[in-house]
Structure 1
């Protein structure tokens, strides 16, 4: 460890031509593997140390990994976000069933600014930043992808869109101007459409910008259903790797989209409270690394996830 290029040592198996063998060796990790002719005699690693063969492995400069930092390629589990939001989590790299091209999966409220598809809050082609804006992501230098498509979020109460409702609202407000000039009336409609998912897709600018392996977990192996009592795990921008028990399935929950707006979600998976703000969009997996859900909401007591099969079906994608 006193040699300037050495950053670590450990016990492992010798590598030959880039492949691991079954031969025991003392592994010496270096910033850069250099030919002996470019090293001083004092910098050379001996072929044997205390009777053990040595194997020099180049690992680069080792530093703490921040999930809120800049990644290229960007793995699932790191910070990402629509250019007009704060930040969420890159959930997974999936395949478009239409053309087999790779796409980034996360929540609507992460990649599409919580859009209902009619409000102009997000449009096809919008810039997606990595890291997300709250973590220092800036236009245009940190653009990693463009918004491809999303499932609109249906709010519980919406403004009237039919001409009769709008006419009634305008007429009443015209009367109020005469009778009570300081007052105005707003007409709202109860929306009977509930949500199944909070999900969206982004198309990477180049496939070199993304990777399939989830930070600290690995590559998903498929999809599965889940039952109450099962242990599930996710890798998120804020919390890192967290695990907890499933409390309920087939759940209907009311979620606050902001301080004034709520939405109902049905067929949801509820787990123990294992998430924090910024973890939204994380892929939730079981012990076999099979995806079971897409994390999208929570409180101090619970975490809520969309069933992964609903996500795959509605977005027409596969892992």
Structure 2
């Protein structure tokens, strides 16, 4: 068990730290492709099983619905799995087991311990819970909002949300399967939920009930979250099966589950638990109604610790190896923005403010992609930073300013699509950047009493990722005038609904981006004949470059947006268009020079001339 080391730093079995990182990256990036095979139910890392006995050899373990003879594979629409996985310099054997999985709310048994299916006040983890349209699952733990310390009840998406429901839905305890008197059993409302690779999870408010965070029959209160390792012993307290014991059997597991009713199959990340043979029991690890219970680590003396190992969401469908699947707590807590302690948002923000700032991350994509530089003839126009450098750094983005134009020449930013957060912009004010002298910034005087927009160069929504405090800091940093450029309001507003405003989102929709990560570069194009307004020249063109990796291969797309500002005095915008072009042509137009990792890529023949782009289908992918 580890509750201090990140998963990427732990070693698996006898693999080195480097090989462990390589294997984890393979599962994360390539694992979902294997789940497209209709017969494959999961992929993960565990110890190879030979003749029914577990060895000490690390293997990539697949589970399949049915083990089939080779001559049956094609007829069943499936494919043979490899004998080993080779990635970089690493060769890892594979293992294939016959197991199917179902969410642990399917076929809730009629018989369950009455203490777990009756109404509780205060409510406690380990008892029946649901929303008014689902059946019954388990209240896993009492958790707290990171922003303000508000208490919530934690369970699964399919317990508290489910098909046909929405945020704000009423929740009850016990679940409707156990007691359909929903008025009498009101608990609160669904607050947040997630269903995807990060987990099957949700939280409800506790507006109609008191609570006690002590887990029923385990008599512990979770205080920390841990990172499961192979062989760790764990225990859970579920609505149907009561207290059950297990051992972590696979890690880095992606499991394919059918959620039905319009949702279909989803791939959920987590780890697998097998029976603890040392207990000498033949109890089910997972039964219908156990969904949402939390697995707790057990210490060496067999006692239940106060460290949470995972959030239970699925079990075997019968007929195969007895097993249970749980989400990783770190992923769940990140997605739901929760904690196990009622730390207030102000405390977290104070900690974030004390941490050193950081800007664009050159190694964000794995390959080294440095931020842009400027051609030699523009060197004298760089606005100096107060620390003596030429680059301003803020949370998740960096930039270089033009002294003469008082706008950024370029802005470089990173986007982590897996941890993006929707944060409000209300009460955040545009302000001068303290790192640059005011004389080198275009301030609020340009925007007052007209229809000019303060247009973000690095999109605000691109920057709000990472831990809550970090995301909020990026949210606020995005409003410095160094990240702002004047834009006609109809251009700015139209672009939000058009392709330019959602280029980053379009890449996610069109391409299987490794780890959902992008590095983006953008800025205005300066022309000597840009129209002057209130003593400043307003750019009529903007550029953007998107860099990302697919299957480890770095890819770059460059775009140019032209707006006609000839009628600025009447603020009547003419048509604007988006073009795709090569990096070489973009450098020629802007003087912005890009990293060799980007420029060394061959230019597509279709971009011999700039190409008009009106929809994603027009992009040369």
**TM bucket, shorter chain:** 0.5 to 0.7
Task: Give the SS at the match of 1:133.
Answer: coil
Q: CA deviation at 1:289?
A: 2.4
Distance between the aligned counterparts of 1:275 and 1:223, measured in 2? 21
1:71-110 mapped onto 2 (5 Å cutoff): 71-110=120-159
Task: Give the SS at the match of 2:116.
Answer: coil
Matched residue, 1:15: none
Q: CA deviation at 1:97?
A: 0.3
Matched residue, 1:147: 190
Count of residues in correspondence between the two structures: 207
Task: Give the SS at the match of 1:314.
Answer: helix
Task: Give the SS at the match of 1:309.
Answer: helix
Matched residue, 1:264: 267
Q: CA deviation at 1:221?
A: 2.5
8 Å contact kept, 1:112–1:147? yes
Q: CA 1:289 to 1:97, structure 2 compared with 1: closer, same or farther past 3 Å?
A: same
- CA offsets 1:291-317 (integer angstroms, 9 cap, x no match): 010000111421000000001111111
Q: CA deviation at 1:205?
A: 1.2
8 Å contact kept, 1:130–1:137? no
Matched residue, 2:334: 313
- Larger Rg, first or second structure (1 or 2): 2
Q: CA deviation at 1:226?
A: 1.3
- CA offsets 1:183-214 (integer angstroms, 9 cap, x no match): xxxxxxxxxxxx221000100114x5221001
Distance between the aligned counterparts of 1:312 and 1:70, measured in 2? 27
- CA offsets 1:67-118 (integer angstroms, 9 cap, x no match): 011111110000000100110000110010011110111000000014xxxx
Q: CA 1:112 to 1:256, structure 2 compared with 1: closer, same or farther past 3 Å?
A: same
Distance between the aligned counterparts of 2:160 and 2:150, measured in 1? 18
Distance between the aligned counterparts of 1:99 and 1:255, measured in 2? 34
Distance between the aligned counterparts of 2:171 and 2:261, measured in 1? 25
TM-score (normalised: structure 1) = 0.62
More strand, by proportion: 1
8 Å contact kept, 1:251–1:270? yes
Matched residue, 1:244: 246
Q: CA deviation at 1:65?
A: 5.4
1:68 paired with 2:117, answer yes
Superposition CA RMSD, Å: 1.7
Q: CA deviation at 1:252?
A: 1.3
Q: CA deviation at 1:256?
A: 2.0
Flag the structure with more relative contact order, 1 or 2, with Cα contacts below 8 A and sequence separation at least 6: 1
Distance between the aligned counterparts of 2:221 and 2:243, measured in 1? 14
Q: CA deviation at 1:145?
A: 1.4
TM-score (normalised: structure 2) = 0.32
Matched residue, 2:237: 235
- CA offsets 1:30-87 (integer angstroms, 9 cap, x no match): xxxxxxxxxxxxxxxxxxxxxxxxxxxxxxxxxx852011111110000000100110
8 Å contact kept, 1:144–1:209? no
Distance between the aligned counterparts of 2:246 and 2:260, measured in 1? 26
- CA offsets 1:191-243 (integer angstroms, 9 cap, x no match): xxxx221000100114x522100101121131111111111011000011111
1:1-319 mapped onto 2 (5 Å cutoff): 66-114=115-163, 121-151=164-194, 153-154=195-196, 195-206=197-208, 208-217=209-218, 218-258=220-260, 261-266=264-269, 268-272=270-274, 274-287=285-298, 288-299=305-316, 300=318, 301-319=322-340
Q: CA deviation at 1:259?
A: 8.2
8 Å contact kept, 1:129–1:138? no
Matched residue, 1:23: none
Distance between the aligned counterparts of 2:166 and 2:254, measured in 1? 29
- CA offsets 1:132-184 (integer angstroms, 9 cap, x no match): 00001422111111111111x35xxxxxxxxxxxxxxxxxxxxxxxxxxxxxx
Task: Give the SS at the match of 1:232.
Answer: strand
Distance between the aligned counterparts of 2:138 and 2:336, measured in 1? 18
Task: Give the SS at the match of 1:270.
Answer: strand
Task: Give the SS at the match of 2:125.
Answer: coil
Judge which range, 244-253 or 255-264, deviates more: 255-264
Task: Give the SS at the match of 1:66.
Answer: helix
Q: CA deviation at 1:277?
A: 0.7
Distance between the aligned counterparts of 1:126 and 1:235, measured in 2? 26
Task: Give the SS at the match of 1:276.
Answer: coil
Runs of 4+ deviating beyond 6 Å: none
Gapped regions of structure 2 (runs ≥ 5) = 1-112, 276-284, 299-304, 341-621
Distance between the aligned counterparts of 1:227 and 1:98, measured in 2? 30
Distance between the aligned counterparts of 1:296 and 1:225, measured in 2? 17
Distance between the aligned counterparts of 2:223 and 2:267, measured in 1? 31
More helix, by proportion: 2
Task: Give the SS at the match of 2:190.
Answer: strand
Gapped regions of structure 1 (runs ≥ 5) = 1-63, 115-120, 155-194
Task: Give the SS at the match of 2:236.
Answer: strand
Distance between the aligned counterparts of 1:303 and 1:239, measured in 2? 12
